[in-house]
Amino acid sequence: MFHVILRFPCPGFHIHLSCLSLCASILCSTLQAQSVAHGSVYHDLNHNGQRDANEPGVPGVRVSNQKDIVKTDEAGRWSLPAGEDTTFFVIKPRDWRTPLNAHQLPQFYYNHKPQGSPESSFPGLEATGPLPESIDFALYPSKEPETFEVIFFGDPQPRDIREVTYIGHDVVEELIGTQAKFGVTLGDIVFDDLGMFEPLNATIALVGIPWFNVIGNHDMNMDASNDEDADETFTRIYGPNYYAFDYGPVHFIALDDVIWGGKAPEGSGTYTGGLDAKQLAFLRRDLEEVPEDRLVVLMMHIPLTGLANREDLYRLIEHRPYTFSISGHTHWQAHEQITRADGWRGAKPHHHLINVTVSGSWWSGLPDAYGIPHTTMRDGAPNGYTRIRFADRKAPYIQFKAARSPEDFQMSVTVADAVSVEKVPTTPVYVNVFNGWKESVVQLRWNDQGSWVSLERSEEPDPGLQAVFDREPETPRAPYRRISSPIDSKHLWKGHLPEGVSHGIHVLSVRASDVNGRWYRAERIVRVTE
């Protein structure tokens, strides 16, 4: 055996030929692991989904591999590093739209997974093989208004096709023909059975608008051994687990804030709330290109205050004057003002909305006349969804909408049906203002006459919901389930009946302001006895 030694002018620098072979092998492997994807963003003139010779590239459009971000050149071309599991996507710019599939899901991405997804109970990605010669993203011109509305679903969470049907009747039917520009589901799209993605998508598609999706803790491949493999089915159907896009004057970012801890020995698995380093890197690069005076909207599943490393996210947005965030997950509604007490360093508190859920309390409770569970949420608010109106540099206008109820159904009033004259001043009144927050005003008076009397905000279980919980059977007839026990409500006001009323039948007039400062009315009939 012998070695050839190559000597170089530098003293002490020499390489064995066997080392050269090893280095070449390592270099080859590195280059293979760091292969580069190429593609274009183009104006699809004939809407056929492929770039034809006469179709121009769109310059200045941002494209990402979920970590790096580049802009297309004058010809609409882009290049990005590609790993063995990479999703490429276009960050949709203002006044352009992406293609939609038959279920109204935006087609703005390409999944590259040469070996396919690991085996799982629910199918992930099939093997994609080598990188295509060119990964091309189609765009179509679409003028976007300065002011527009978005529909937000929290936790539709159907277990089976019966509950998919509930969703269709409870919220989808009334939204058909909406003027909203797009919709977003904020995670827990389904309840562990990922086979429900497709029928639910087909149902929501009937609304007739583009629909974006955020991943939740019940949307994961729960037999995955790690977080990286837990989103394989979601990615196959919806694309990247986090992404961004512009609409009108607003920049939207969808986050994956569920970190899967792997399947537990007993089969349940674990998760925590947080953002991994790769996602934070993407956010940092994304926001670097977003003007400081642009409204940034963060969409996630687990609320901000439930994230272990939320301060890392705060550092990226707290200097910006216009931010808003929205989540689901809890199955109760709340407007949170995130302040320095939670590690926020911004000049003003950050507004975070924990959204009403479509499934309410997980499709539980006795059925109504249509066979749909009343599924009142744990804070006493009905199930439903939120409509939000966005405009440049303005606080979002947030409209709570109870399922299959009039738009002005914004509160519930709990008070005795009958009370004696002497007990009027000590008889409690509770008002649950579904879209209320700490600055809301709640007042009442008799027969819409005299001075209004204000109530005080009180964080405690809604007694109206408690009464429902107490009278419903512990084991309702299948397939119905008992609702969850009430929790402290974040939007409950408490007081006593006003004085100055004699015996007879009277109208208790109630008025309340919501988070937008808009006033709503309600009335209750109370019989006052001698």
Residue 234 within any structural domain of the chain: yes
Instruction: Give the position of tokens 């607003």.
Output: 250
Mean pLDDT of 494-505: 94
Given a cut of 90, is residue 97 above it in pLDDT?
A: yes
* Sign of the alpha-carbon torsion through 273, 277, 282, 287: positive
Asked if residues 261 and 269 have their Cβ atoms less than 8 Å apart, the reply is yes
pLDDT digits (tens, 9 = 90+) for 199-225: 999 999 999 999 999 999 999 999 999
Task: Please provide the average confidence, as pLDDT, over all residues in the chain.
Answer: 92
**Whether residue 164 is found in the same domain as residue 309:** yes
326 with 383, same domain: the answer is yes
First and final CA of the chain: distance in angstroms?
Answer: 115
- pLDDT tens-place string over residues 150-176: 999 999 999 999 999 999 999 999 999
**272 and 309 part of one domain:** yes
Residue 22 within any structural domain of the chain: no
Q: Which of 89, 114, 139 delimits the end of a domain?
A: 139
> Would you place residue 30 in the very low, low, confident or very high pLDDT band (cuts 50, 70, 90)?
very low
One domain, residues 432 and 301: no
| Total of domains in the chain | 3
Which has the closest alpha carbon to 455: 467, 469, 445? 445
**Which tens digit of pLDDT belongs to each residue from 442-484?**
999 999 999 999 999 999 999 999 999 999 999 999 999 999 9
Please check the confidence at residue 10 and state whether its pLDDT lies above 80: no
Query: Which helix (H) or strand (E) is 183 found in, with range?
Result: strand 182-186
- What is the widest separation between alpha-carbon atoms in the chain? 115
Indicate whether 24 belongs to any domain: no
Question: Domain boundary residue among 139, 154, 187?
Answer: 139
Asked if the model's pLDDT at residue 246 lies above 60, the reply is: yes
Same domain assignment for residues 135 and 169 = no
Distance CA 190, CA 140 (A): 31
Together in a domain, 126 and 170: no
What pairs with residue 90 in β-bridges?
63
* Residue 14 falls inside a structural domain: no
- For residue 428, tell me if it sits in a domain: yes
Same domain, 133 and 176: no
> Are residues 135 and 149 located together in one domain of the fold?
no
Q: Is residue 244 part of a domain?
A: yes
Task: Please check whether residue 21 lies inside any domain of the structure.
Answer: no
CATH number for the domain harbouring residue 40: 2.60.40
How many C-beta atoms surround the C-beta of residue 402 within 10 A? Answer: 20
Query: Measuring CA to CA, which residue among 422, 411, 419, 425 is closest to residue 515?
Result: 411
Same domain for 99 and 129, yes or no, is: yes
CA pair distance 83, 85, nearest whole angstrom? 5
The fraction of the chain above a pLDDT of 90, given in percent, is 90
Q: How far apart, in Å, are the Cα atoms of 178 and each of 154, 156, 164?
A: 18, 19, 20
| 368 plus 467 within the same structural domain | no
Residues 189 and 299 in one domain: yes
pLDDT at 530: 86
Closest CA to 399 of 151, 146, 147, 185: 151
Domain boundary among 402, 429, 461: 402
Per-residue confidence (pLDDT) for residue 28, from 0 to 100: 40
Domain range enclosing 457? 411-529
Q: What is the CATH number of the domain that holds 461?
A: 2.60.40.10
CA 344 to chain centre: 21
The distance from CA 338 to its chain's CA centroid, rounded to whole angstroms, is 18
In a domain, 18, yes or no: no
Q: Which long-range contacts (CB under 8 A, 24 or more apart) does 305-311 make?
A: 305/336, 305/338, 305/342, 305/352, 306/273, 307/257, 307/273, 307/274, 307/275, 308/272, 308/273, 308/274, 309/274, 309/275, 310/274, 310/342, 310/343, 311/343
Q: Residue 317 is part of a domain; what is its CATH number?
A: 3.60.21.10
Q: Are residues 134 and 167 in the same domain?
A: no
Q: How far is CA 232 from CA 84, 194, 237, 275, in A?
A: 14, 11, 9, 18
At 388-436, the pLDDT tens digits run 999 988 899 999 999 999 999 999 999 999 999 999 999 999 999 999 9
In angstroms, the CA 366 to CA 453 distance is 36
